[in-house]
Copies of this chain bind each other. A is one copy, B any other.
Amino acid sequence: MKEIQNVVLIGSGNVATHMGLAFKEAGIEVLQVFSRTAKNARELAGILHSGFTDRIDSLNPDADLYLIALSDDAIEPAAEKFPFSGKLLAHTSGTTPMSVLKKGSTRIAVFYPLQTFSKHVKLDYKKIPICLEVLHEEDGKSMERLACRISSNVAWTDSPKREMLHLAAVFACNFVNHMYVAASDILRKNQLPFDLLHPLIEETARKAQVNAPVDIQTGPARRNNLKVIGKHLDRLRENPDYYHMYDFISNSIKKIHGHIR
């Protein structure tokens, strides 16, 4: 097995930035950052002390891995322009099948970090699950070794399973955050500070990590308390979206706990 010692990053957004920092922390050299926007490439290269380019035909040919960290729709077009057909080429997307990289190289892989990234928020990379996939078994060991240097949580998932994992993550992260948005809206309209909910938010997240979420469900819908549910719906009449979400999610909870069919 040839160990992956250095990487070229294709992309300069949130995921590219955090993966670049994670590689650096783990002692893996970032040789070069590519972005179509020279300014963005230069900026991230400055942080990572790497080279940079805005021309795909000027990619450094000596890297052990080329990692595409672009938005889903930009991955296939970037792979099509990738100039080194025998080099290891991977993407970082949850929903995009590995196969879209086939036009770029014969050696392809996926390196999917399962986390929500914001550019300026520091993260403990050791805790971020890295989900791997490779086309050729020969590349499996070096990809796994690379992932293990960054994270203590490495898993193998094929493209269909990774898609379901990403779908579950949409519920557990994006939709959860939308519930926080609704809660903070309701509080703001009543001149109450969102801080009041912080301990509850923290405890709710903590509990779900040590129990099956279905076993620790609480609240008016779990108890089938129709009086409270009715009062709450009344208060939400001005906001049809929140009204409908309250109604629908409550009914879904009631079904799971056998209060309605």
Q: A interface vs B, CB < 8 Å?
A: 71-73, 95, 114-118, 121, 123, 127-129, 131, 153, 155, 157, 161, 163-165, 167-184, 186-187, 189-192, 194, 196-209, 212-214, 216-223, 225, 227-228, 231-232, 235-236, 241-242, 244-246, 248-249, 252-253, 255-256
Cα(A220)–Cα(B228), bound, Å: 33
Q: Within the complex, which residue of B73, B212, B219 is in contact with A173, where a contact is CB–CB below 8 Å?
A: B219
For the complex, what is the distance from the CA of A181 to the CA of B254, rounded to whole Å?
13
| B245→A252 contact, CB < 8 A | yes
Contact of A207 among B118, B128, B181, B220 (CB under 8 A): B118
Cα A50 to Cα B138 with chains together (Å): 68
Q: Write the chain B residue with the least CB distance to A127.
A: B199
Establish whether residues B205 and A128, one from each chain, have CB atoms under 8 Å apart when the complex forms. Answer: no
Q: Which of A95, A121, A201: most chain B CB closer than 10 A?
A: A201
- Cβ-defined contact, A95 with B228, below 8 A: yes
Identical chains in the assembly? 2
Inter-chain contact A186/B168, CB cutoff 8 Å: yes
Which of these, B115, B174, B201, contacts A220 with CB under 8 Å?
A: B174
Question: Which residues on B sit within 8 Å (CB–CB) of A202?
Answer: 205-206, 209
A174 B222 Cβ-Cβ under 8 A:
yes
Verify B164–A190 contact, CB threshold 8 A: yes
Is the CB–CB distance between B200 and A183 below 8 Å? no
In the complex the two chains form, is B73's CB within 8 Å of A227's CB? yes
Contact A182 B173, beta carbon cutoff 8 Å:
no
A99 to chain B, nearest CB (A): 14
A191 neighbours in B (Cβ, 8 Å): 161
Beyond A157-B192, A222-B174, A248-B245, is A200–B116 a contact (Cβ under 8 Å)? Answer: yes
Pick 10 A–B contacts, CB within 8 A, sort by A. A73-B227, A123-B203, A169-B183, A169-B200, A171-B183, A173-B204, A174-B222, A175-B249, A177-B216, A177-B218
Instruction: Say how far A118's CB is from chain B's closest CB, in angstroms.
Output: 6
